[in-house]
Amino acid sequence: MFRSLLFIPGNNPSMLQNADVFLTDAVIFDLEDAVSIKEKHNARNLVKNYLQTSTVLPKQVVLRVNSVDSIYFGEDIKLLKTKKIDYLLIPKMNKETMHKVDIVLNDFERKNNLEQIKLIALIETAQGINEIDYFAENKRLSALFLGGEDLANDLEIKRTDSNNEIHYARSRVIFSAVANGIIPIDTPYTDINNVEGLRKDSEQAKELGMKAKASIHPNQLEIINEVFSPSMDEIDWARDIVRLSKENSDIGVFQYKGKMIDKPIIEKAEKIINKAKQFGIM
Amino acid sequence: MINGAKRYIPDDMCAFISSKNHLNKERKLIERKQKQLNTVFLDSLSDVFDILNIDSNMVLSFHHHLRNGDKVIQLVAEEIRKRELKNLHLAPSSIFPSYTNLVNLIKNGNITNIHTNYLNGEVAKVISQGYLKGKLIMNTHGGRARLIESGDLGIDVAFIACPVVDKYGNGSGAVGKSACGTLGYAISDLEYAKKVVLITDTVVDKLDNYQLDGQFVDYVLTVDSIGDSSGIVSGTTQITNDPIGLKIAKDCANLLDFLGLIKNGFSMQTGAGKTSLAVVKYVEEIMKKNNVVGEFASGGITKAYVDLLEQGLFKKLYDVQCFDLDAVQSFQKNKNHLAMSASEYGNPFEDNPICNKLDFVILGATEIDLDFNVNVTTDSLGNLIGGSGGHADIAYGADVTIIISPLIKSRIPIIKEEVMTVTTPGSDVDILITERGISINPKRLDLRQKLKDSSFPIFDIKELFDLSHKITGVPKKIINNKEIIGFVEYRDGTYLDCIYKVNHGF
């Protein structure tokens, strides 16, 4: 379960050293876009050493690997042998990529006697959006992650504060993720000094149905966590509903502050309580 | 012998006992200097040296309000070189990297002893390497005032850089082309030096408000420029953008709030570093949220505090030195932005110095040890890189002293079994806040009790020490060179620690 994910470039030792300190639900160690071609080898080595030797790791570790079609992918996935990686983030996901990754990982797992590797799909092309329902049901997937910047590049459009240009893509990611019981993750907000912009962007994504948001700077995490966490009012409400549902277990339906409470509402309340516990809010 | 901070001090030295030991002593005061009937204006430094018979073996003092833009100490140093004076004892309140003229004077034996509160740059480097033939004594701001007023350090001539002087010899730092704000560190020198020379680049007919009283001034030397303004206001005004620094700052503000220290009428002081400024920002947010008005903030003053004064969040600022231009301007125009002398600020023998009225202070550390002793004087290899300034004064005076620091700086753990140099005794340090946890000094049972059931990540300092070693590995032990080059003098005049020649072959 995530609210926030933080990108850390794989070739930045000081960020790696503090990766466990940041208030994020998962750290994404990036071997792809944040790392130049000259640095690919160094970054991979640095992340490998960090995972092997560090005694204080982030709560969840995600590794963004290079494209399955690149010469780096085979080396990147060898870091799975550290058994410290919770998810691989697969860039430019589409139907064909999912298929190729599945084949490579099946083979890798078999040869290295590893359990099934969980994936997060980074959807950042028009093709990826169009084919989303074909790969979202893959059992390896734990989340769908919208990459808004690359998608805008693919569409040859500008990113704007209104987010109108990614409204359709956000909706596709959300519907497909929720339909498959996995987490929709929103694209990062790239203006790292614009606190109000980040809040607005996060609230907009949450209203649509996003359950988490990625960040490109640790200073963004507090707002993201706040927006994507249940509020104290929601938690108080959920506590009341769960308590009353237990007290009224024989009748199934009951009233709370003049409103009818039935099974879907009780399930919603239980999800809120579950989230609050997971995120350490209660 | 081993002193009260568990540090070795030579047997013939007056060893530190405890930070409260001054309470058992009487204040020692020499006569203030005689009132001058006429202040003499001169325009040649050479004439000043001739008239005052400045010669070898004398004690000359300076203040550091012009910071890295100071030209006065450089001018005087050049005159010392020309005259080939020897064995001088210098007592600048601080030494900045721009004071490069001192380097060869130290190497050549023109300057052989130094008292100061802080030093950095090339001068610090050559002293660390053992070039100072006598001793370096590092004291605190309040301790320096005590040292001078007691006559324990008799100053032959005080050279006081002064941005504006009137025809009566009164001086101020508030205006002039080299305005630097308050001149708090110069007051003891003004009142107790045998001879006082104000050095200025601006003379006016009459000052209505002045901090330096002409009755103590013997000579005024006018020069083209006493300072480079870009170096004078060199303090940072930007809060940190470093996520680790921001986390520490936020945790600190939240802890202060939880402890109930941000309440109506409270008082505080912080350093002027970027993380300290972030603490001020978060404290400001809490003050606004809870409609709190503080009594005062003190110290070196920055824009962050000026903003709080102007918003009515503090009633007063007590300012011993202005760190930036906003503070200088506020000092000029705001009657609640008050100057204080170093003695009023931190002299242990003042009746009620400002430092004793502080509810809490936020300070930094180069190192801290398992006894909570703090080092801000040397780095982990023993190179001189700073000094107490007011660190030990306010750590003693404040009800709660908090050290904020990353647990690991440039891959070096900040918690040591023993710090390289004790600047501030651990008995005066209450809380350490790092990005990976908070530690409370075991002697503060009251704070431990209050925080017992809180959600703050509280650890024993040994646990944080062990955690840092898990991350970095155990650092190689640095062995001191045995040659003592100076001492850390506690504010009461006792010796807290030795400073050793840096050991490059450790």
Mean pLDDT of chain A: 95
pLDDT score, position B271: 87
Mean pLDDT of A55-74: 96
Report d(CA A9, CA A29) in Å as an integer.
6
Do A26 and A61 fall within a single domain? yes
Structural domains of chain A, count:
2
Structure confidence at residue A112 (pLDDT)? 96
pLDDT at B236: 59
Token representation of residue B99: 């004071």
pLDDT at A217 over 70: yes
How does pLDDT run across B436-475, given as a tens digit for each residue? Answer: 999 999 999 999 999 998 999 999 999 999 999 998 899 9
Which pairs count as long-range contacts for A128-132, CB under 8 Å and 24+ apart, including other chains?
A128/A92, A128/A93, A128/A94, A129/A168, A129/A169, A129/A172, A129/A173, A131/A94, A131/A95, A132/A172, A132/A173, A132/A176
The mean pLDDT value of chain B amounts to: 95
pLDDT at position B116 is 98
Token code pair at residue A157:
């459009």
- Distance between CA atoms of residues A264 and A253, nearest Å: 11
A139-148, A244-253, A271-280: which has the minimum mean pLDDT? A244-253
For residue A220, the model assigns a pLDDT of 96
Strand locations in B111-218 (E): 111-116, 136-138, 157-161, 164-166, 171-172, 195-200, 203-204
* B229 pLDDT above the threshold of 90: no
Residue B56 neighbours by CB distance under 10 Å: 13
User: What is the predicted pLDDT for the residue at B228?
Assistant: 82
Residue A216 sits in a domain whose CATH number is: 3.20.20.60
B421-457 as b/e: b if 16+ CB within 10 A:
bbbbbbbbbbbbbbbbbbbbbeebeebeeebeeeeee
d(CA A89, CA B474): 35
Q: Which residues of B touch A56 (CB under 8 A)?
A: 436, 467, 470-471
What pLDDT, on a 0 to 100 scale, did the predictor assign at position A142? Answer: 98
Q: Which two tokens stand for residue B304?
A: 């962050």
Instruction: Indicate whether A9 and A62 sit together in one domain.
Output: yes
Q: Which ipTM was obtained for this model? A: 0.81
Tell me yes or no: is domain B243-484 CATH 3.40.1410.10: no
CA A145 to CA A159: how far, in whole Å? Answer: 17
Higher pLDDT, B142 or A255: B142
In chain B, which residue's Cα lies nearest the Cα of A218?
Answer: B243
Give the pLDDT score at B237: 64
B283 band by pLDDT with thresholds 50, 70 and 90: very high
Residues pairing with B384 in the sheet: B378
Residue B431 has pLDDT above 70, yes or no: yes
Same domain, A141 and A120: yes
- Rounded to 5, what percent of chain A is helix, strand, coil? 50, 15, 35
Task: Identify all chain B residues contacting A23, using CB atoms and an 8 Å cutoff.
Answer: 247
CATH ID of B43-232, from 3.40.190.10, 3.90.79.10, 3.40.1080.10, 3.40.640.10? 3.40.1080.10
CB contacts, 8 Å: B244 with chain A: 18, 21
* Nearest residue to A16 via CA among A25, A7, A8: A8
- B63-106 confidence digits (pLDDT tens): 999 999 999 999 999 999 999 999 999 999 999 999 999 999 99
* Residues B155, B33: Cα–Cα separation, whole Å: 11
Residues A239, A218: one domain?
no
Q: Which residue in chain A is spatially nearest to B436 when comparing CA positions?
A: A21
pLDDT at A60: 97
Place of tokens 């092997």: A52
Chain A CB contacts of B254 below 8 Å:
none
Instruction: Give me the pLDDT at residue B479, please.
Output: 80
Q: Are residues A268 and A176 in the same domain?
A: no
pLDDT at B505: 56
Banded model confidence at residue B482, pLDDT cuts 50, 70, 90: confident
In this structure, the answer to whether residues A85 and A204 fall within a common structural domain is yes
Q: Which of A66-75, A118-127, B170-179, B226-235 is predicted with the least confidence, judged by mean pLDDT?
A: B226-235
End-to-end CA gap in chain A: 16
Task: Categorize the per-residue pLDDT at B234 as very low, low, confident or very high, splitting at 50, 70 and 90.
Answer: low
Q: Tell me the backbone φ, ψ of residue A14, rounded to 5 degrees.
A: -70, -35
What pLDDT shows up at residue B325? 87
At residue B87, the 3 state secondary structure works out as coil
Inter-axis angle of helices A263-278 and A232-247, nearest 10: 130
The pLDDT value recorded for residue B357 is: 98
Q: What is the 3-state secondary structure (H, E, C) of B317-371?
A: EEEEEECCHHHHHHHHHCCCEEECCHHHHHCCCCCCCHHHHCCEEEECCCEEECC
| Residue B467 touches chain A, beta carbons under 8 Å | yes
Question: Residue B5: is its pLDDT beyond 80?
Answer: yes
pLDDT in tens, B285-324: 999 999 999 999 999 999 999 999 999 999 999 999 999 8
Residue B43: Cβ-neighbour burial (10 angstroms; 0-12, 13-18, 19+): exposed
Clarify whether residues A83 and A191 are in a common domain.
yes
User: What are the structure tokens assigned to A179, written together?
Assistant: 């339909």
* Beta carbons of B89 and B152 less than 8 angstroms apart: no
- Tell me, what amino acid is at A104? V
* Lowest-pLDDT range of A84-93, A118-127, A147-156, A251-260: A251-260
Pairwise CA distance, residues A182 & B22, whole Å: 67
| Domain match, A188 and A270 both | no
pLDDT at B131 over 90: yes
Q: How far apart are CA A272 and CA B1, in angstroms?
A: 64
One domain, residues A21 and A78: yes
Q: Are residues A96 and A180 in the same domain?
A: yes
- Show me where the domains of chain B are located: 43-232, 243-484
Q: Choose, out of A17, A223, A224, the residue to mutate when testing the contact with B (most B CBs < 10 Å).
A: A17
Contact A56 B471 (CB under 8 A): yes
The average pLDDT across A231-252 equals 88
**A31 with A164, same domain?**
yes
Residue B168: per-residue pLDDT: 94
Search chain B and give the residue with CA nearest A217: B243
B236: burial class by Cβ within 10 Å (0-12, 13-18, 19+)?
Answer: middle
Same-domain pairing of A274 and A188: no
Interchain contact, A21 vs B467, CB within 8 Å? no
The pLDDT score that the predictor gives to residue A251 is 79
Read off the pLDDT of residues B378-403 as tens digits, 9 standing for 90 and up. Answer: 998 999 999 999 999 999 999 999 99
Distance of alpha carbon B164 from alpha carbon B210, whole angstroms? 9
The predicted pLDDT at position B465 comes to 98
Q: What residues make up the domain containing A220? A: 4-228
Give the confidence band of B12 by pLDDT, cuts at 50, 70, 90: very high
Tell me the count of A-B CB pairs closer than 8 A.
Answer: 25
Q: Is the pLDDT of residue B235 over 80?
A: no
